[in-house]
A and B are shown apart, each in its own frame.
Chain A
């Protein structure tokens, strides 16, 4: 591993100031390959550094910041749920308010990774997890627009069983690998960030960027900005929610397809639906047209299947991932029918 500098930050303010100072320094690179990176649990970053996919010159450790309570806490009130960015996946998955009122969030965390990783990984780091595309993660493959802009994409005509059928471009079809982000985007969450110029809050749905022509730019975070927390608004659909994850083995695997579903139902009909898809798209994927198709209808085999058709109407499969269109539809249908009949 190449040498790097390591700084431990004692506050969020200090962390973003260190980043701001170093990334303005001469020789710092453009966005997407920052010379300085935050490290929390390190469960993605250390991996990628070992693989030399990312090669930061400096790490700013935000793991020991204790200043603000909300930085690592879970708080629920009548307005909604606040999740601190440094809360561990394991802690949030086991939180009783989350389990009762936001089951989709608990499940998306519980079904991810392994117990050891969930103990280490932070929520903020989790939503920024990089793709598992093997051509991205193995630097001996030369064509990867995400890793090396302009170099091409080996996955388009390569081994692409795990790749995205939604949101891809001719520059990149790498799948967004996480689970938790789907529950956030489905529940209309917002994200708090802090930067050298202050803090801001914006819809979580605006955090990730589809690859288009610039797959190396994965988020709308400005250079040096740090995620500090998430707000999930209280809503009539959060209790009737679930996360369904389909994978080759029973545990410890990334999703081939997943669905985060939340429903507000009355008199046997859907008032509002919230749907997000994972394992299938280049970003956490909100299926708004499918949601709209369900409004006012009873949730049955027919309406669920219609919603699934709509969700995948724009799917663009490749050689080895064509099964994901069918799988995605079945996953969403199964999740919708399950959530509709949940006892709450």
Chain B
């Protein structure tokens, strides 16, 4: 019987090899960072602010200190010289690693809800947790600004914050909109969302003289190493990060967050190993999050469906001091042919923690809006939504006129539409029923920019046909261990089961952040290059016997180290990589080409005709992402993305009490994510695609592709079911009880 989890490879696809770390993970053999046994550790717990703006006037710590086992309590009064100024990751010309410039415990100032105000260290986890609860601050509180529409927020144009962002624009979109035959022009919103990877946020720090070792689940072992060194004013050579196994990340373990350097500083002061494991509630504060957005999209078209104007404006919330934003218009302006385009991204500074990466940071919220608007335009035009995409499909992006290295959008739509039986859809909203349930179907485009970063790897081949690949790249649960082994095996002509892979350690050759869906492409490029160098040394021998060839060469192993940068990228990227910076390039940012992965998602929902709860009955996604290294791990990532997309569409939202700028539902009972019962039938189709221009190995990456467009496909299906267009996520029955 066919195994749905292990799709039969098609053209340009690798075997569905099971994860080589799978057995370790399901038997408890995988040592996650907090599983590492420390010698005589002490345990840290956080006390977090319960105000969003103001300062701490004094602490009452008697009750906390009285808890048996408490060793010390660190506050801004005792730790304020520990942390140097830090630079944010990816937001400046300077080398930056941090998620925020906010430095808790460095002053009495409180800039957001849940800011770290004290760290308690005790002999046991329980004592530290109990004492942290008893830390009693007295505040000088001020009225905070919570979000859009709150008094006191300030607005700033994204283009003025970052030189890396310019608002894409061509032609005269406003004029084209005024004279258009057909147009849609609406406002949308997306909510705050928080990461809830199963593995919580943990940090263990051990000092040996001047040397610091950090065990922490991180999407960038080298980035964390340099980030902590920057914050503590240390020589990065003295910092070692180990992150061998990671139980889900999704962006939340990317940039260096506040706790790590603080835990390290405390470990140094106490001269003891310190271990920290966050609670689930604290996880809503110690990691980054997806900020809420408000957006406007206007689309104009001629009656034959050709787009004549696209206007996309986005507002995003960020913190007071920082300018983090995602700016998804780089992508939405590249989706379809259109002669007049105008965009603008603005940030709204509020008294909130600095947001950060979350799976498809820009594309998830911005493509929800564009793909909802495309459906609205199709409806207004009376054109099938798939055909509207076909009419406006293009191999040349409209902003700079660059050719896509490959773009299989319509093959994806056609494959998914056929499997989904889209042609049987009733186009009239509210017309299809199954008993008391209204049935609706919708579709949307998925996409994700193909980014590649400099990478390095070392490969050793032994005479017995075994090999060892070493690179600092992280496996965040996606299958990096496995696809790296497959790449080495393929290039060296050996069995993938004979390849040992060592990852997630900053002593290994540096590799980029596991973010932006780049690692498979970037790291496999370096692995392939090192393997090719080994093959070069073996060449010229007629013998098929590997052992003989080693004897001929007079060596007991062949070791090659390789560095790669993306086609056309500057070799300086390798120097940056050695400083912990991942010079991600690609997507829409190249001068001579544009590179994206594409997909199409089709979703059927049932909405109860009376009570209006929404249930997803089936989902079909077809995706083309260049070379697929492993059909099993690729399907799993795409499936996970689509399920995450259902969460975004129907459930996930962190609720803010606007009076206090505080989160209310910071637990997994009240912050709902899909459960098994929410996912009935899910079909992932891998569409063959060959792209020899994106990078050396032709891989586009699938980590984020699957979550993009899902929410729009759901919204479009809800419209088809009910005739009600919901433009605010998540879509809940509240909006349908009209």
Report which A residues bind B (CB closer than 8 A): 1-2, 52, 132, 134-135, 138, 140-141, 154, 157-159, 161-162, 246-254, 256-257, 323, 326-327, 330-331, 333-334
Contacts and interface: CB of A to CB of B under 8 A. Distances in A.
Given A52-B133, A132-B669, A132-B670, A159 B675 contact: no
B665 interface: yes
A320 B296 CA distance: 24
Contacts of A135: 664
B650 A248 contact: yes
Contacts of A248: 613, 650-651, 672, 732-733
A69 B652 CA distance: 45
B8 interface: no
A246 B130 contact: no
Given A1-B129, A134-B665, A159-B664, A323 B737 contact: yes
A114 to B, nearest CB: 9
A249 B50 contact: no
Contacts of B678: 249-251
A143 B651 CA distance: 27
Most chain B C-beta atoms within 10 Å of own C-beta, residue among A257, A323, A333: A323
B610 A333 contact: yes
9 contacts: A140-B50, A141-B662, A159-B655, A162-B670, A327-B611, A331-B610, A334-B608, A334-B610, A334-B611
Contacts of A247: 613
A323 B733 contact: yes
A1 B130 contact: yes
Contacts of B612: 327, 330
Contacts of B669: 132, 254
Contacts of A334: 436, 608, 610-611
A249 B733 contact: no
A27 B670 CA distance: 36
Interface string B638-680: 0000000000001100011101001011100110101111100
Interface residues of B, number: 34
A161 B734 CA distance: 9
Interface of B: 50, 126, 129-130, 133, 436, 608, 610-613, 615, 650-651, 655-657, 659, 662, 664-666, 669-670, 672, 674-678, 732-734, 737
A307 to B, nearest CB: 14
Contacts of B674: 249
B661 to A, nearest CB: 12
Nearest to B734: A323
Contact of B657 (A159, A249, A327): A159
Given A250-B615, A334-B610, A326 B675 contact: no
A330 B736 CA distance: 12
B123 to A, nearest CB: 15
A162 B732 CA distance: 13
A141 B114 CA distance: 12
Contacts of A326: 737
B130 A250 contact: no
Nearest to A259: B611
Task: Count chain B CB atoms within 10 A of each CB in A141, A159, A247, A333 and give the residue with the most.
Answer: A159
B659 A157 contact: yes
Given A52-B133, A252-B677, 8 more contacts: A159-B655, A248-B651, A249-B672, A250-B615, A251-B675, A330-B610, A330-B612, A334-B608
Contacts of B659: 157-158
A77 B414 CA distance: 62
Contacts of A254: 669
Nearest to A256: B733
A248 B608 CA distance: 12
Contacts of A246: 611, 613, 733
Contacts of B734: 161, 323
A248 B730 CA distance: 10
B372 to A, nearest CB: 20
Nearest to B134: A2
Contacts of A333: 610
A58 to B, nearest CB: 18
**Most chain-A Cβ atoms within 10 A of its Cβ — which of B130, B608, B657, B672?**
B657
Given A132-B669, A323-B734, A249 B677 contact: yes
B657 A154 contact: yes
Contacts of B613: 246-248
Contacts of B737: 323, 326-327, 330
Nearest to B737: A326
B611 A249 contact: no
Contacts of B665: 134, 159
B608 to A, nearest CB: 8
A252 B662 CA distance: 26
Contacts of B677: 249-252
Contact of A331 (B130, B133, B611): B611
Contacts of A159: 655-657, 664-665
Contacts of A162: 670
A134 B670 contact: yes
Contacts of B129: 1
Nearest to B281: A138
A1 to B, nearest CB: 6
Contacts of B608: 334
A344 B662 CA distance: 51
Contacts of A252: 675, 677
Contact of A330 (B611, B615, B650, B666): B611
Nearest to A330: B610
A247 B650 CA distance: 12
B113 to A, nearest CB: 9
A139 to B, nearest CB: 8
A187 to B, nearest CB: 23
A256 B438 CA distance: 20
Contacts of B615: 250
Given A132-B670, A134-B665, A252-B675, A327 B130 contact: no
A203 B727 CA distance: 48
A154 B658 CA distance: 12
